[in-house]
Amino acid sequence: MSSFLRLGAGLAALLVTACGAPAPAAPAGPQPIRAPSPSRVTAEAAERVGADELGRVPILMYHRIVAEPRSVYDRGPADFRAELERLAAEDYIPVTTSDLVTGKLDLPAGTHPVVLTFDDGDPSVFALTPEGEPAPGTAVRILLDVAVAHPRFRPVASFYVNENPFGGDERALRWLSEHHFEIGNHTAQHTNLRRAGESAATAAIAEGDALIRRAVPGYQPATLALPYGARPRRGELALRGPGYSYGGVLLVGAGPAPSPCSPEFDPAAIPRIRSQGAGKEAEYGSAHWLDELGSAAGRRYTADGDPATVSYPRSGPEPAPSCASVSLAY
Ligand SMILES: [Zn+2]
């Protein structure tokens, strides 16, 4: 092998490693020239960007995007776009719920994760034109447009669906999964899992899981949003039961979520923030919480730029035991 080719192989391995995928096994025979390993974050670099990967993450909750909002769960298209523009301007980068709960947060140094969640599969959130494009005015179309204007702002989100989502268009869930959106379970019939008995609750979750797997062959739902935020009497039944297993279960309210590396993180009860501007109960809404998280005392999750290390300020709490071995205090 020429030295040029050997160098090329080393660079290819470096690039794959830098993107977070496992590096290919070393080939037999002469070893390639070793490319420098990807730089790991130092305490100085983490401090410079104020990294805090034990900080809090806003998981925003949306239902309908309609021109004439009728309840606190609705938002108008202009308000929705303005909220996304605000997030982009404040260095937030969307990730899915599944990315968050599995700790797959590969974000540039100094940026913050945000999760955009949409419950109930409303056609105002996503619909396809006859040509198979996201319909104008839908939340997905607006999100894609904002991402074009802000290239670092990833157009990803998590959709929690019941039966016949998005007006029953059979193409919808397949399109979302093919475009890196997450499809999560919200039970087939929007069942109140607290009122239901134990076996009815697990059956309702399993039915919702199965309908997603039927709609998108090969897809495995990884998270659940509780209808009405109502937990089963035994909370762990929302995480695991006959026919389903999840990395995270979302509540309806009412504040930022702990980092998955925080000792406060409970995968069976992850809080969300209702998207909301001023008005009734605004103290639970996103405008209030984004102000708070952006303040000096906000304890917001800020990435260190190194997906393999969990950086945090020594002044704060210690990481959960599961993250201790990869943590870096400054
Ligand atoms: Zn719902």
What is the pLDDT confidence band of residue 71, given thresholds at 50, 70 and 90?
confident
Tell whether the model's pLDDT for residue 55 goes beyond 80. yes
Report pLDDT digits (tens) over 130-184.
999 999 999 999 999 999 999 999 999 999 999 999 999 999 999 999 999 999 9
Q: How remote is the CA of residue 122 from the centroid of ligand 1, in Å?
A: 10
Q: How remote is the CA of residue 48 from the centroid of ligand 1, in Å?
A: 41
Instruction: Look at residue 8 in the predicted model and tell me its pLDDT.
Output: 37
- Mean local confidence (pLDDT), 201-208: 98
Instruction: Look at residue 281 in the predicted model and tell me its pLDDT.
Output: 79
CA dihedral over 117, 285, 137, 229, signed as positive or negative: positive
Residue 40 tokens read as 């790991």
| Helices marked H in 115-186 | 139-149, 171-178
Residue 193 tokens read as 């899992």
Q: How remote is the CA of residue 187 from the centroid of ligand 1, in Å?
A: 9
CA gap 37, 49 in Å, rounded: 22
Q: How remote is the CA of residue 60 from the centroid of ligand 1, in Å?
A: 14
Sorted by where each starts, the structural domains of the chain and their CATH numbers stand as 1-38 (no CATH), 56-301 (3.20.20.370)
- Note residues around ion ligand 1 (Cβ under 5 angstroms): 119-120, 227
Q: How remote is the CA of residue 193 from the centroid of ligand 1, in Å?
A: 12
Q: How remote is the CA of residue 252 from the centroid of ligand 1, in Å?
A: 9
Average pLDDT, the chain: 89
Longest dimension (CA), the chain: 70
Instruction: Look at residue 39 in the predicted model and tell me its pLDDT.
Output: 64
pTM of the model: 0.87
Instruction: Look at residue 5 in the predicted model and tell me its pLDDT.
Output: 35
Instruction: Look at residue 311 in the predicted model and tell me its pLDDT.
Output: 97
Q: How remote is the CA of residue 188 from the centroid of ligand 1, in Å?
A: 11
